[in-house]
Amino acid sequence: MRLSIDVGGTFTDLVMDRGGVLSMYKAATTYPDPVDGILDAVAVAAEQTGGTVAGLLAETDLLFHSTTRAINAVVTGRTARTALLVSAGHPDILVIREGGRTDPFNYQIPYPPPYIPRSLTFEVPGRIWADGREMAPFEEATVLEIITAMRAAGVEAVAVSLIWSIVNPAHELAVGRLIEAHLPGVPYTLSHQLNPTVREYRRTSSAAIDASLKPIMQGYMHALKTRLGEAGLKGRIFAVTSQGGLVDVDDLSERPILALNSGPSMAPVAGRYFSAEEGWDAAIVTDAGGTTYDVSLVKDGVIPWTRDTWLGTIYRGHLTGFPSVDVKSIGAGGGSIARVDASGLLHVGPESAGSTPGPVCYGRGGTRPTVTDAAVVLGYIDPGFFLGGRMGLARDAAREVVERDVALPLGLSVEDAALAIIDLATEQMVNAIEDITVKQGIDPTGTAIIGGGGAAGINTVLIARRLRCSTVIVPDVCAALSAAGAMMSELTRDFAVTAIMPTRLFDPARAQAIVADLTAKAEAFFAAAGADAFDKRIDLAIEGRYPSQVWEIEVPFTPADLGAPDAVARLVAAFHARHQDLFSFRDDGDDVEIMGWRAVARCRVAEESRAHLAPQPGGGPKAVHRTMTFRETGPVEAPAFRWDDLDPAEPVVGPAVIESSFTSVVINPGATARKKPSGQLVISL
């Protein structure tokens, strides 16, 4: 049996996989110790399945865990007191960053403070140059003075990031040895080990974030293992990572930066599974929650990564610089608030009512209309069947605020105002999708879109039409897409090395040696994964660019390519093709500069779950009719079907709604939905 636990800010979700059938449970997240909430969720599962906590845990072979603890610590500034050691002459790497600014005419926005203050930043003598040469010597005595100063300052973690340590790590390693010797027990991160990439700001930022998380995440992972062990867990615990994979919890303690954004990175893992079930190898994966709308992609069966992940606002937050699943997140969701400004322009979000107080229709103190309120006004959500009837919704209150805040100021009927709210939210979501698809070179036309998240059903059909997608897939586990993704993900670790090699000066022996070294590291990782690991794969890629471009693109290759007599021609051809694919042009006449080499090692520790819920039919009438409003039809009597009771042989033709305990999926006029025998909805537009 397998458990997947997702500790969120408000709720702790538990997905249980027993013999290939999934079930979901929830408990409140507890503070300060989230392990209490995890055990509460296990207790709920035990109670509903007629077992005990100890019994369930004893039965568990594998436990997958994800948490927002790391990201929350960064956002709230509750990380360890961390010092930064940088090359002499460059103390302001985190202050100056890479420049960049939005809102050019708004000088009311303050300049952002660095991730680690200047008062805890120290300069290490010594300088390596781009070719690895030592241009200025390392001075141990100065580092010893710095260590004394750090001790006096009560430093709890240290990040070390020296210029060109990726080419020659001697000075960084020397600093590491001195910290080990003179600050025993204080965790530290060396930039070239954590994130071997060119660009000192990105590498320094990842090292700083990683080091600052070490004390709390090491403490937390230790507590998690110990307490679950005491409660009866015998199986292994794996942590979900921002790279869309799993690592042993001890590995996460070593590299806690992997825990950032680990939840959202699981959505495309689930999305890839569900799109593959329908025969798609490319898909747009959306996850619509109460406050954020996350978009990620699947392309040729692969989930694209990025190094451009910002924690917080672009240019003003902190760039992780760390390779992770590319997820575009915007402040739009069911809780986004609609308002009309003084000049008569409608806005939806970024202000959000969140889950507390939540939309007005929740009746928990919300006073301003939200997207969810608009959906209630339009009849898309059944006020009596929200969350399977566990929570009644105040439809009249929703109508009142939509009328007051949107309809009257715009001179519209309440229904037209609600449609306007949905349309504008749709446009914002489309914008977010276009941003990431342009970046990753995907044309949404004709692709599939996966609707995940509790709020997805409201407008996924509209979004898909606007983007000219051909199909919408709404999985039955859409409300817990990330937790489901963990069930089907693999043990993953990436290895990288910076080794600059223009293809005109291609050195086959050196290339072979680099790849052999990366492969050896991957094999060691497989060995550490345990005897049960299977389905081991190593994905190789170069990071390259045309001469004088500065942004590299990743181009996959195989060991056979590299072993071939025309190895370099193959790499160059693959690069041109990938560039064409991403940016619609290629420069056949030109060289390629290989900047780095990567190997991503993947293996399974368990068979992929069958990621569908056990249906629970017979919960009520198969269909009820109520008034719904659509752009095309105006108010119309239309059926609302129970998802669990839908017959796969009978397509649902819009206008209609398909409801489950977790979500409400709007089938707009002209669209047709089919429930697949596996449980998911497939909507043709």
Partner 1 sequence: MTSAPSPAPTVAPARARPDGVRLAIVQKRFEGVTRKMANTLLRTARSGVINTARDFSCALVTADCELLTAADSYPIHVIGGADLMARAMLDMHPDLKPGDAFLHNSPYHGNSHAADHTILVPVFDDDGRHRFTVLAKAHQADCGNSLPTTYMGDARDVYEEGALIFPAVKVQTGYKDIQDIINICMMRIRVPNQWRGDYLATVGAARIGEQEIMRMGRELGWDALTRHAQDWFDLSEQQMIDCIRTIRPGRARATSVHDPLPRTPPEGIPANADVTVDPEAAIITVDMTDNIDCLPVGVNLSHACARTAAIVGVFNSLPTPMQPNAGSLRRIVVHLREGCVVGIPFHPTSTSVATTNLGDRVTNAVQCALAAIDPAIGMAEGGAAIPPSAGVISGVDPRNGHAFVNEVILAGAGGAGTPTQDGWLSLFSMGNAGMPFYDSVEVDEMLHPMMITTRRLVADSEGAGMHRGAPGLLTEYRPVDCDFELGFCSDGTVNPAKGTRGGHDAQPARQWLAADDGTITPLRTSEQIHVRRDQTVVSYATAGGGYGDPATRDPERVASDVREKWITAGRARDVYKVALAPDGTVDAAETARIRAGA
Q: Which amino acid is at 311?
A: L
Bridge partners (DSSP) of residue 24 are 15
Distance from the first to the final alpha carbon of the chain: 38
Q: Could you tell me the smallest distance in angstroms from the CB atom of residue 403 to partner 1?
A: 15
Q: How open is the CA angle 254-256-260, to the nearest 5 degrees?
A: 160
- Going by C-beta distance under 8 Å and a sequence separation of 6 or more, which residues neighbour residue 25? 13, 14, 15, 16, 41, 44, 45, 48
Distance CA 373, CA 339 (A): 13
Q: Could you tell me the smallest distance in angstroms from the CB atom of residue 95 to partner 1?
A: 6
Q: Could you tell me the smallest distance in angstroms from the CB atom of residue 439 to partner 1?
A: 6
Task: State which residue, 116 or 449, has the beta carbon closest to partner 1.
Answer: 116
Rg (alpha carbons) of the chain, rounded to whole number: 26
Q: Could you tell me the smallest distance in angstroms from the CB atom of residue 73 to partner 1?
A: 22
Q: Could you tell me the smallest distance in angstroms from the CB atom of residue 200 to partner 1?
A: 5
- Give the three-class secondary structure for 21: strand
Polymer length of the chain: 685
Q: For residue 384, give both structure tokens.
A: 């009596």
Q: Could you tell me the smallest distance in angstroms from the CB atom of residue 583 to partner 1?
A: 5
Task: State which residue, 420 or 603, has the beta carbon closest to partner 1.
Answer: 420
Q: Could you tell me the smallest distance in angstroms from the CB atom of residue 683 to partner 1?
A: 21
CA torsion through residues 243, 246, 249, 250, sign: negative
Q: Could you tell me the smallest distance in angstroms from the CB atom of residue 103 to partner 1?
A: 7
Q: Could you tell me the smallest distance in angstroms from the CB atom of residue 314 to partner 1?
A: 11
Task: State which residue, 1 or 412, has the beta carbon closest to partner 1.
Answer: 412
Task: State which residue, 427 or 561, has the beta carbon closest to partner 1.
Answer: 427
Q: Could you tell me the smallest distance in angstroms from the CB atom of residue 181 to partner 1?
A: 29
- Stated as kind and residue range, the H or E segment containing 308 is none
Are the beta carbons of 427 and 419 closer than 8 angstroms? no
Q: For residue 159, give both structure tokens.
A: 């990040």
Distance CA 518, CA 634 (A): 61
- Give the three-class secondary structure for 320: coil
Q: Could you tell me the smallest distance in angstroms from the CB atom of residue 599 to partner 1?
A: 23
Cβ neighbourhood burial of 177 (10 Å; 0-12, 13-18, 19+): exposed
Task: State which residue, 226 or 445, has the beta carbon closest to partner 1.
Answer: 445
Are the beta carbons of 370 and 355 closer than 8 angstroms? no
Task: State which residue, 76 or 584, has the beta carbon closest to partner 1.
Answer: 584
Q: How open is the CA angle 314-351-450, to the nearest 5 degrees?
A: 75
Q: In b/e form, how buried is each residue of 48-82, taking b as 16+ CB within 10 angstroms?
A: eeeeebeebbebbebbbbbbbbbbebbeeeebbeb
- Going by C-beta distance under 8 Å and a sequence separation of 6 or more, which residues neighbour residue 295? 284, 285, 286, 287, 327, 328, 329, 429, 432, 433, 436
Task: State which residue, 344 or 677, has the beta carbon closest to partner 1.
Answer: 344
CA 160 to chain centre: 27
Question: Which single residue is written with the structure tokens 């050896």?
Answer: 520
264 upstream amide cis, omega within 30 of 0: no
Task: State which residue, 11 or 201, has the beta carbon closest to partner 1.
Answer: 201
- Give the three-class secondary structure for 475: coil
